[in-house]
Amino acid sequence: MMTLSFLQTPSAAQVPGLPLRAGLGLKNEHFTEVLDTCPDIGFFEVHAENYMVAGGPFHHYLGLIRAQYPLSLHGVGLSIGGENPLNREHLARLATLIERYQPQAFSEHLAWSTHGPVFFNDLLPLAYDVAALNRVCEHVDQVQSTLKRPMLLENPSTYLQFQRSTLDETDFIGEIIRRTGCGLLLDVNNVYVSCINHQRDPLTYIDALPLHAVAEIHLAGFAEDTDSLGERLLIDDHGAPIDNAVWQLYEHVLARTGPVATLIERDNQVPAFSVLLAEAQQAERHLSRGRP
Amino acid sequence: MSLLEDFAAALLASDQACPAGLFSSNGADPASRFAVYRNNVHGSLINALATAYPVTLQLVGDEFFRAMAGCYVQASPPASPLISEYGATFSGFIQGFEPAASVPYLADVARLERLRVRAYHAADALALEPQAVLQQLQTHTELGTLHLQLHPSLATLDSRYAVVAVWAAHQTEGAIATLNPWHAQGALVLRRGLEVKVFAIDSGSVAFIDSLNQGAVLEKALAHALEASAEFDLHQCLALLINQAAITHLSLEHKVSP
């Protein structure tokens, strides 16, 4: 059954959004370099929570950079997959930030980060059952009606599965998108990390997603560990260059979707801006291959 | 207990227990994978504290700092998704942290670093140009009843230790050798433009600035300052505030007629 917000808001993939180019996560250590060199980049993305401050350099620089580039606002603290009601104060802060910077896209995660009084500062996994599906859909509806725009939901990277789950992750995501009209932020690195960790085929996983709803792609690097059996355990740490396997998977996605706005994410061990720019240019080469 | 209640409790628990109801598709022990979440939570919060308290970290070393921050994370996990605000009670925790007692000024250095983060993100406000302040001061005949409104980023700290000297010594190489931390010092922290600045001030200046910040008129603030220290130098303190563009507004007290 379709909910009201689907009827009220056009689906995210149809809204004029980010340019079909490569973008970069904006790090504060690169503020002045970006303004001084005006790099040829499709868009910048920032974590919404970092800009929920009263004033100072963060707003100063983001204002200047926003005047020159399209912007994607990426939330990490809404806890859409949580069991608690959404934090209305936080949602109001998001609305204020969106009003101020008019980003071309707003995205959040299929995960939880708050439970009871504690914020865990991590994207934590949920069991995929009907109760969770209803809850997440209500939360996405609430976000979209408060922000008066469609949001994008990002597929998670996970290390464990819940015995209680009764739905596949891809079906769970497909149903949220069908019911709420939100878009899909397809994190290709998350697909690869989760599929290796759960012994799934990444191509099959991708093909089971509602690819028509993909409005943005994330690419990032992972760290590698081993579990109690000594088997590969990939950790989504955003601290390394993008792996070849992820580039190949990206190529597979683009063949199915056509060009999609693609973000290079690096949040740890942030290298020189030129290194990130080179990764963005590599993504642009993949994107241009898909153009007519 | 709900499913996530169990998961959430285990993330912060001091034992390494893994919540029930989880599995790995390859049959690996779920505890070995749950540890990734536990490490991510603790690691990200400890890293956030390390970023906000760089000199506190240098004073005790990386290993000690991370262990101390880990204890704090368990005792006081964040209550808000605004991580820039996390750690507001860290200096108080350090004060009572027995293993750090051999560095008695550690908590005050942490307080100073907290004020720097606060100043960095504080609201913007247009400061008066030094010339404009001087002009206004010269035209007012009743200076004692003046209200000085200070920049939202501005805060002070009173310490039994040379907290600014300790902090400053860690901003430049080789300055630590001559450092004497064993005397009282106050700190003034403010943001000028985009830059956070730290000044050493005396206890009279701390009292004076705190009084102004609480809305006292100039003569009352002066009285408080002289109570705190008979050697308080009004001229020097005002000059610092004016030259650092710390004053955003000047107004005369509105006297209510009887």
Closest-approach residue (CA) in chain B for A57: B194
Render pLDDT for B127-154 as a digit per residue (tens, 0 to 9): 999 999 998 888 888 889 999 999 999 9
- On whether any CB of chain B is under 8 Å from the CB of A88, the answer is no
| pLDDT band at A292; cut points 50, 70, 90 | low
Residue A221 DSSP one-character state: -
Cβ-based contacts of B86 with chain A (< 8 Å): 121
* Residue B1, CA distances (Å) to A80, A83, B5, B7, B77 in order: 20, 12, 6, 10, 20
Residues 6+ apart with CB under 8 A from A96: none
Using an 8 Å Cβ cutoff, are B190 and B119 in contact? yes
Q: Name the least confident of A145-159, A164-178, B13-27, B117-131.
A: B13-27
Distance from CA of B190 to the nearest CA of A (A): 11
Chain A residues close to B120, C-beta within 8 Å = 56-57
Closest partner residue to A124 among B7, B12, B121, by Cβ? Answer: B7
Whole-number Å distance between alpha carbons of B41 and A14: 36
| Interface list for A 90-119 with B (CB within 8 A) | 90, 112-119
Residues 26-55 of B with CB under 8 A from A: 26-34, 36-37, 40-41, 44-45, 48
Instruction: Mark yes or no for CB contact A126/B121 under 8 Å.
Output: no
Q: Please give the average per-residue pLDDT across A235-244, as a whole number.
A: 95
Q: A126 or A290, which is more confident?
A: A126
Domains of chain B: 1-103 (no CATH), 123-258 (3.90.930)
Query: Is A248 in CB contact (< 8 Å) with chain B?
Result: no
* CA A22 – CA B116 distance, rounded (Å): 35
Please identify among residues 156-215 of chain B the ones whose CB lies closer than 8 Å to any CB of chain A.
191, 194
| Distance of alpha carbon B36 from alpha carbon A13, whole angstroms | 34
Phi, psi dihedral angles at A119 (to 5 degrees): -100, 125
CA distances from A207 to A177, A210, A253, B146 (A): 15, 8, 9, 71
Instruction: Give A-chain residues touching B12 at CB under 8 angstroms.
Output: 118
Question: Minimal Cα distance from B23: which residue of A?
Answer: A161
Neighbours of A288 (CB within 10 A): 11
The pair of structure tokens assigned to B124 is: 């913007």
- Could B81 and A120 be called an inter-chain contact, meaning their C-beta atoms sit closer than 8 Å? no
How many beta-carbon contacts under 8 Å exist across A and B?
A: 145
- CB proximity list for B43: less than 8 A, separation 6 or greater: none
**What is the largest distance, in Å, between two alpha-carbon atoms of chain B?**
84
Two structure tokens written together for A5: 């917000």
Contact between A116 and B5 using a beta-carbon 8 Å cutoff: yes
Distance of alpha carbon A285 from alpha carbon A250, whole angstroms: 12
pLDDT the model gives residue B254: 62
Choosing among B23, B40, B44, B195, which should be mutated to test the A contact, i.e. which has the most A CBs within 10 A? B40
Strand partners, A44: A24, A71
What is the reported pLDDT for B10?
A: 95
Subunit contact B11:A126, Cβ cutoff 8 A: no
Mean residue pLDDT across chain A: 94
Three-class secondary structure of residue A199 per DSSP = coil
Residue pLDDT, tens place only, A98-107: 999 999 999 9
| Inter-chain CB proximity B4 and A82 less than 8 Å | yes
Nearest CA in chain B to A90: B81
Residues in chain B: 258
Q: Residue A177's pLDDT is what?
A: 98
Interchain contact A201–B (C-beta under 8 A): no
Residue B176: what are its φ and ψ, rounded to 5°?
-75, -30
pLDDT tens track for A35-94: 999 999 999 999 999 999 999 999 999 999 999 999 999 999 999 999 999 999 999 999
- Give Cα separations from B153 to A122, B108, B126 (angstroms): 30, 19, 12
Contact by Cβ (8 Å): A144, B106: no
pLDDT for B16 equals 73
Contact B26 A114 (CB under 8 A): no
Contact A94, A48 (CB under 8 A): yes
Whether the pLDDT of residue A169 is over 70: the answer is: yes
Question: Is some CB atom of chain B closer than 8 A to the CB atom of A53?
Answer: yes
Q: Which of B5, B23, B26, B120 to mutate to test the interface with A (most CBs of A within 10 A)?
A: B26
The whole-number average pLDDT for the span A133-150 is 98
Higher pLDDT, A12 or B242: B242
Closest CA to A147 of A120, A110, A107: A107
Looking at the partner chain, which of A60, A76, A119 has a beta carbon nearest the beta carbon of B80? A119
First CA to last CA distance, chain B: 64
User: Looking at the partner chain, which of A119, A122, A125 has a beta carbon nearest the beta carbon of B79?
Assistant: A119
Which residues are CB-contacts of A32 (< 8 A; sequence separation ≥ 6)? A61
ipTM of the complex: 0.94
Interface contact A83, partner B, CB < 8 A: yes
Q: Is A85 on the interface with B (CB under 8 A)?
A: no
Residue of A32, A80, A159 to mutate for B, most B C-beta atoms under 10 A? A159
Q: A36-55 b/e with 16+ CB inside 10 Å = b? A: eeebebbbbbbbbbbbbbeb
- Contact check, Cβ <8 Å, B22/A77: no
**Residue ranges of chain B with per-residue pLDDT less than 70:** 1, 174-177, 253-258
Alpha helices by DSSP H, chain A: 4-8, 31-37, 57-66, 88-101, 130-147, 169-180, 188-197, 202-207, 244-257, 273-289
Instruction: Indicate the pairing of strand A112-115 with strand A105-109.
Output: unpaired
Of the candidates B60, B241, B85, which has an alpha carbon nearest to the alpha carbon of residue B166? B60
Residue ranges and CATH numbers for the domains of chain A are 4-289 (3.20.20.150)
Question: Using CA atoms, how far apart are residues A1 and A210, in angstroms rounded to an integer?
Answer: 17
- For residue B255, what pLDDT is reported? 53
Q: Which residue of B23, B24, B153 is the best one to mutate when testing the A interface, meaning the one whose CB has the most A CBs within 10 A? A: B24
Contact (Cβ atoms closer than 8 angstroms) between residue A193 and residue A235: yes
Higher pLDDT, A3 or A142: A142
User: CA of B255 to nearest chain A CA: how many angstroms apart?
Assistant: 33
Task: Evaluate if residue A188 carries a pLDDT over 80.
Answer: yes
